[in-house]
Amino acid sequence: MPVLAPGSGKTKTGRLWTYVRDGRPCGDTAPPAAWFAFSPDRRGEHPQGHLKSFRGTLQADAYAGFHPLYEGGRILEAACWAHARRKFHDILAATQSPTASEAIRRIGELYAIEKEVRGSPPEIRLAIRQARAMPVLEDLRAWFGATLQTLSTKSDMAAAISRWTALTRYLDDGAVEIDNNAAERALRVVALGRKNYLFAGSNRGGERAAAFYSLIGSAKLNGLNPELYLRHVLTRIGDHPINRIAELLPWNIAQIHTKSIPTDA
């Protein structure tokens, strides 16, 4: 996001990091949440700091700044099939390549299986994936390998093969998704906001924007109209006890005040 650079009359490029926790696709009833963090640059030290206490599986894009997080085994990498498919889609749009078309068709088979298991408990998702998605992936890897004989080692297929363990991580854990589209969807509000406010006035302004985006994103994930949610909070927060501030978080509002705050149609 553009951030005003003091004294220059110009803007510099700040960054928003987006983290989403949403277990609904695997039947988890814990409330979903989005958290945004601002930084003045794109150095890998920022996500490494954000996740310094995290243990588990991180589903993210291939940004190099995440790679140190996977060293030592504290965090497992799950790659995103949507990013892999997008590369082939771009090639198809530019060149009408039959190879890219075939790659998209095969990846589509994986998504058809995911559509069927969405919302099921992890153990059911895991069993169906291993029975039905694993053979598709084995065939896909063999096809990638054969096709690579006629392509550059720097091709998108070569990149997919090199990240195969991360791309197939979801086969080993029914709670892991096939892609990180939940985070991609949460980012859409940022693109819309940039068109309206143009830039943040300072790094502090970027931090405040991240706080509001966290509330807005979490409100949407919990079925609340963000504008009505913020109006509800801002009219009450002045008199609300500080030791009970968690009562105003979106998931608590969604559970307690659904009648006073309409959900999106």
Q: Mean pLDDT of residues grouped by 10 in the chain (265 residues)?
A: 87 94 94 96 94 95 91 94 90 88 95 97 97 96 84 68 90 96 91 82 94 95 93 93 94 68 47
Whether residues 167 and 200 fall in one domain: no
Whether residues 55 and 27 fall in one domain: yes
Ramachandran class of 254: left when φ > 0, alpha when ψ lies in -120 to 50, beta otherwise: alpha
- Measured in residues, the chain has a length of 265
Whether residues 8 and 64 fall in one domain: yes
Whether residue 247 is contained in a domain is answered as: no
Q: Could you tell me the maximum CA-CA distance found in the chain, to the nearest angstrom?
A: 69
Whether residues 125 and 185 fall in one domain: no
Distance CA 172, CA 109 (A): 18
Give residue-wise pLDDT tens across range 10-49: 999 999 999 999 999 999 999 999 999 999 999 999 999 9
What are the helix (H) ranges across the chain?
45-50, 81-95, 98-117, 122-128, 134-147, 156-162, 164-167, 181-197, 203-221, 226-234, 250-256
pLDDT of residue 31: 94
Tokens of 70: 């996977």
Query: How far from the centroid of its chain's Cα atoms is residue 17's Cα?
Result: 10
Whether residues 41 and 118 fall in one domain: no
Counting Cβ atoms within 10 Å, is residue 217 exposed (0-12), middle (13-18) or buried (19+)? buried
Whether residues 162 and 110 fall in one domain: yes
Whether residues 134 and 202 fall in one domain: no
When computed from its CA atoms, the radius of gyration of the chain, rounded to whole angstroms, is: 21
Determine the 3-state secondary structure of 12 from DSSP.
Answer: strand
Amino acid at 67: H
Whether residues 85 and 167 fall in one domain: yes
Whether residues 159 and 199 fall in one domain: no
Q: Yes or no: say if 206 and 14 are a contact pair by the CB < 8 Å rule.
A: yes
**Structural domains of the chain, count:** 2
Whether residue 226 is contained in a domain is answered as: no
Whether residues 123 and 165 fall in one domain: yes
Whether residue 122 is contained in a domain is answered as: yes
Distance CA 170, CA 182 (A): 15
Give residue-wise pLDDT tens across range 182-216: 999 999 888 887 778 888 989 999 999 999 999 99
pLDDT of residue 44: 93
Whether residue 201 is contained in a domain is answered as: yes
pLDDT of residue 28: 94
pLDDT of residue 110: 97
Q: Which residues pair with 224 in a beta bridge?
A: 263
CA atoms within 13 A on the CB side of 81: 23
Whether residue 252 is contained in a domain is answered as: no
Whether residue 209 is contained in a domain is answered as: yes
pLDDT of residue 149: 76
**Distance between first and last Cα of the chain:** 30
Whether residue 261 is contained in a domain is answered as: no
In this structure, the number of other CB atoms found within 10 A of the CB of residue 228 comes to 16
Whether residue 258 is contained in a domain is answered as: no
pLDDT of residue 9: 81
Whether residues 129 and 67 fall in one domain: no
Q: Which domain holds residue 189?
A: 2-72+181-221
Whether residues 89 and 37 fall in one domain: no
